[in-house]
Structure 1
Amino acid sequence: MKTYYIKADRFLLENRTITNKYLQIEDSKFGSFVDQPPANSEVADWSGYTIAPGLFDTHIHGIKGNDVMDGSKQAIKNISKELLKIGVTRFLPTTLTASTEDLNQAVAAVAEAVDEGLPGAQSEGIYLEGPYFTETHKGAQNPVYFKDPSYEEFQQWQQRSNNQIVKIALAPERKGAKEFIRKMTLEGIKVSLGHTNASYDCCREAVDAGADIFVHLFNGMKGLHHREPGVVGAACTLQHTFAELICDGHHVHPVVASMVAQMKKEQLVLITDCMRAGLMPDGVYQLGEFPVHMENGMARTETGSLAGSTLQLVHGVKNLQAWTQMPLYEIWHRASLSPAKSLHKENKLGSIAPGKLADYVVLDNQLEVHAAAIEGEVKYQQKHE
């Protein structure tokens, strides 16, 4: 792999912004910053632009007419390609609650697509959202398929996925959930809590068993009450847990999102929960087995429940930065480094630091993505007239 240098007005680092430097890219990884590269070095000149680490969407179902539940390797490749154009360099293809057969097909399709090679954003493993949920907070998940956790069933999906499942979401009040969480944790599978009506104590016990992520905070869960902290209270107060947040202004009020950003700090993970209507015009789309109506960018089921989102992760960063007035570099890393930390991948992904994979995006002052690179290779560049 070649060595080259990036010239840019500023670089977003974990704890600060660096200006007017050159960043070395060597053997697909980030190197050090220099004032001037060696003579005759190759330089990628992005003067007037900002370089930021690639975004990492750990909860995304689909985009631009494609969905993981299509059970098609081409759909996964299309999602990968479209995500790179909006600054996402890593993602977790995310399933929905569905029949065993449909989930078999979905995870196998992801495995096939990854094996053949993805053209854009790279998969860091499959995220099973369900089917071990509770009907009280079903959201856009189909309760027909809800059930208690089964280790044997999970093993079948894991086998069909070629061992690519890295994360699973469940309701901790389901029978056998605590033991299931312990088994998952021992196998290195991350466990998220969501679509749940669990008490604070139940959540705490689940966290003690190994669960340490809360699915799209405030949505699909028991809320905060002054005499029963519930799932939200557990997510906001239990140490060493991560909380997902959808910052589209619809799922969570900006004031509440800002409050959570102050409370969770580096353990806040910005996600999209985007479905196939993302980057598409208003209309009727399918989410699993449910028709979803999108109007003004907001997707709802026929019963009125929010059905995923159409959010771009870079817009979530932009929104939260505007709501909190926190430094851009700090909010940006909630969508790159924090997701990597939630999966124990922070040593190789999530920030511009020597030795990490050189996933980066080129941004203008409006945070529009002009180029994106995977492991140092520019795979997307906006066409300029």
Structure 2
Amino acid sequence: MMRGSPMTYYISAKRFYFDHKVKEGGYLAVTDGRFGKWTEYVPEGAEVLDYSDYQIAPGLVDTHIHGFAGYDVMDNSEESLLGMSQALLSAGVTSFLPTALTAPFEELKAICQITAETAGKEPGAKIQGLFFEGPYFTEIYKGAQNPKYMGNPSIEQLQAWQEAAQGKLIKLALAPEREGVADFIKEATKQGVTIALGHSNATYEEAMAAVEAGASVWVHVYNGMRGFSHREPGMVGAAFDTPETIGELIADGHHVVPAACKVLIKQKMPQGVTLITDCMSAGGCPDGDYMLGELPVIVENGTARLKKGGNLAGSILQLKDGVKHVVDWGLVTVAQALQMATSVPAKSVGLENICGSLKAGLPADFIVLDDSLELQATYIDGCKGWEK
């Protein structure tokens, strides 16, 4: 299939993972790069894309990813964003939010500008918006973020960034204990920005106040936040106690052990948990020395850690593997795992009508999986972008 060619064809598969429904067998129409309807039969003489031994799912949506295949969002270059876009097809990702770290105001503004200028030119996975993981954090749970650039939230800064991003800054993370948070959240959410909470020592009450103001996502639950105890439920307790919010989960087995993943999913249900990678530039690359923003990192034994102090520094997880892990660990069904990496993340940032499902009318971004959930192919706008 040539990208953009005006035509209709039908995907034949043993199983289709629709949002909230799994259809066995049959055919899914693709017309001019968009999904049509599922049908049991196809018209005589119709063109059929034969994946009858495989399963079809929506392309994966990564709403928290810093880099991949040697490219880093903090490179602040079109080359890196386009490189990530192309390489992410091998991870099953068809939509992503390039994610910036805590950095000086002007540097973040430049990243807004380059992202806005690059969006629409992607050869692979689509840039659906921009995520700022910081700079409004606190030092005690700084993780692999530079405390030198942390401060209190500012609507003036947000507006300057948003202007440079041409409205593409759609998600921003902060610590609830910062000054002026409630007013900032109310104004930012009014402007369509999803507010996430993390890298924070906030109490349960402070975190709940931020949710009351409009925050709706928890940044990589358990990691970089005050933990749960019986006298102070903390950030983790607030995440457990707000079913209307969505918790990010890094399902690599290193950031969060399977038993803790199980507890989170049980507390929030699969529809309240979004699988993310928090992947850094070393994702998809050999072990060795790398940089995360300004900080030196060593990648070995399946983890990325700061050279100084040994903190986990993002991950090298691929989203397709996160899906496989939560199934292999016996935590969720295949359908639920796929929702946690497609429709749930899309919905978490208001993209449910743009990506994350096989719904008729949406761009035909989909993946082909075998029975072991190994990725076989990735399609963008109905055209093959990557094949095993």
Question: Residue type of the partner of 1:122?
Answer: K
What pairs with 1:17-96 in structure 2 (closer than 5 Å)? Answer: 17-96=22-101
- SS of 2:329's equivalent in the other structure is helix
Question: Could you say which residue in structure 1 is the equivalent of 2:235?
Answer: 231
Aligned counterparts of 2:116 and 2:354: Cα–Cα separation in 1: 22
- SS of 1:244's equivalent in the other structure is strand
TM-score, reference length from structure 1: 0.96
TM-score, reference length from structure 2: 0.95
Question: Residue type of the partner of 1:310?
Answer: I
Query: How many angstroms does 1:349 deviate by?
Result: 2.2
Task: Name which of structure 1's ranges 308-317 and 151-160 shifts more when overlaid on structure 2.
Answer: 151-160
- SS of 2:238's equivalent in the other structure is helix
Question: Could you say which residue in structure 2 is the equivalent of 1:313?
Answer: 319
Matched-pair contact (CA < 8 Å) for 1:30–1:353? yes
Query: How many angstroms does 1:331 deviate by?
Result: 1.1
Task: Name which of structure 1's ranges 248-257 and 315-324 shifts more when overlaid on structure 2.
Answer: 315-324
Query: How many angstroms does 1:367 deviate by?
Result: 2.1
Matched-pair contact (CA < 8 Å) for 1:196–1:221? yes
Question: Residue type of the partner of 1:311?
Answer: L
Question: Could you say which residue in structure 1 is the equivalent of 2:157?
Answer: 153
Change (3 A) 1:325 1:142: closer
What pairs with 1:266-305 in structure 2 (closer than 5 Å)? Answer: 266-301=271-306, 302-305=308-311
- SS of 2:25's equivalent in the other structure is strand
**Are residues 1:195 and 2:199 paired?**
yes
Question: Could you say which residue in structure 1 is the equivalent of 2:375?
Answer: 369
Question: Could you say which residue in structure 1 is the equivalent of 2:12?
Answer: 7
**Are residues 1:220 and 2:224 paired?**
yes
Aligned counterparts of 2:261 and 2:323: Cα–Cα separation in 1: 12
Deviations 1:77-98 (A, max 9, x none): 0000011121100000000001
Matched-pair contact (CA < 8 Å) for 2:243–2:268? no
Task: Name which of structure 1's ranges 94-103 and 282-291 shifts more when overlaid on structure 2.
Answer: 94-103
Question: Could you say which residue in structure 2 is the equivalent of 1:206?
Answer: 210
Equivalent pairs counted in the alignment come to 381
Give 4+ residue runs of structure 1 displaced > 4 Å after superposition. none
Aligned counterparts of 2:362 and 2:105: Cα–Cα separation in 1: 38
Matched-pair contact (CA < 8 Å) for 1:348–1:355? no
Query: How many angstroms does 1:325 deviate by?
Result: 4.6
Provide the identity percentage.
Answer: 47
Q: 2:186 aligns with which of 182, 185, 196?
A: 182
Aligned counterparts of 1:221 and 1:207: Cα–Cα separation in 2: 15
Question: Residue type of the partner of 1:153?
Answer: Q
Q: 1:337 aligns with which of 337, 343, 349?
A: 343
**Are residues 1:262 and 2:271 paired?**
no
Question: Residue type of the partner of 1:83?
Answer: L
- SS of 1:94's equivalent in the other structure is strand
Aligned counterparts of 1:27 and 1:191: Cα–Cα separation in 2: 35
Matched-pair contact (CA < 8 Å) for 1:61–1:94? yes
What pairs with 1:346-361 in structure 2 (closer than 5 Å)? Answer: 346-361=352-367
Aligned counterparts of 1:102 and 1:355: Cα–Cα separation in 2: 38
Q: 2:111 aligns with which of 94, 97, 106?
A: 106
Query: How many angstroms does 1:227 deviate by?
Result: 1.1
Aligned counterparts of 1:160 and 1:275: Cα–Cα separation in 2: 24
Deviations 1:256-296 (A, max 9, x none): 10121122120100000000010111111000110001111
Question: Could you say which residue in structure 1 is the equivalent of 2:3?
Answer: none
Aligned counterparts of 2:82 and 2:371: Cα–Cα separation in 1: 30
Matched-pair contact (CA < 8 Å) for 1:74–1:113? no
Unaligned runs of 5+ residues in structure 1 are: none
Aligned counterparts of 1:297 and 1:280: Cα–Cα separation in 2: 11
- SS of 1:378's equivalent in the other structure is strand
